[in-house]
């Protein structure tokens, strides 16, 4: 299970920094949705994602949060918002 902190994901750059840290993404990770999709496509594990303080994430990232959640979902990952 991957636990992300929505308080640390209140903007695009912050969201990608949290993802990079928690998923141990490579140094060449581009910090955008295309790069996230590519990196997730290379992973064999299909962990459960829990986004704690999801309200702060959704509010801080607005429409971008939905796009990010879609990338996770499109890669076969389950996401729980807490």
> Backbone dihedral region of 61: left (phi > 0), alpha (psi from -120 to 50 degrees) or beta?
alpha
Q: What is the pLDDT of residue 4?
A: 98
Q: What is the pLDDT of residue 44?
A: 81
pTM confidence score: 0.92
Q: What is the pLDDT of residue 45?
A: 80
Q: What is the pLDDT of residue 18?
A: 97
Q: What is the pLDDT of residue 47?
A: 87
Residues whose CB falls within 8 Å of the CB of residue 60, separated by 6 or more in sequence, listed in order: 6, 9, 10, 11, 14
Q: What is the pLDDT of residue 62?
A: 87
Query: What are residue 52's DSSP bridge partners?
Result: 5
Chunked into runs of 10 residues, the chain (82 residues) has average pLDDT values of: 96 97 95 96 88 96 95 95 95
| 3-class state of residue 10 by DSSP | coil
> What is the widest separation between alpha-carbon atoms in the chain?
31
Handedness of CA 50, 51, 54, 58 (dihedral sign): negative
What is the domain partition of the chain in residue ranges? 2-81
Domain 2-81: give its CATH superfamily: Barstar-like (3.30.370.10)
């Amino acid at each position: 299970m991957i636990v992300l902190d929505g308080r640390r994901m209140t903007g695009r750059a912050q969201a990608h920094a949290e993802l990079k840290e928690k998923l141990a993404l490579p140094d060449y990770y581009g910090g955008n949705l295309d790069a996230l999709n590519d990196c997730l496509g290379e992973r064999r594990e299909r962990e459960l994602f829990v986004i704690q303080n999801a309200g702060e994430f959704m509010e801080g990232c607005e429409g971008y949060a939905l796009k990010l959640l879609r990338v996770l979902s499109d890669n076969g990952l389950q996401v729980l918002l807490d």
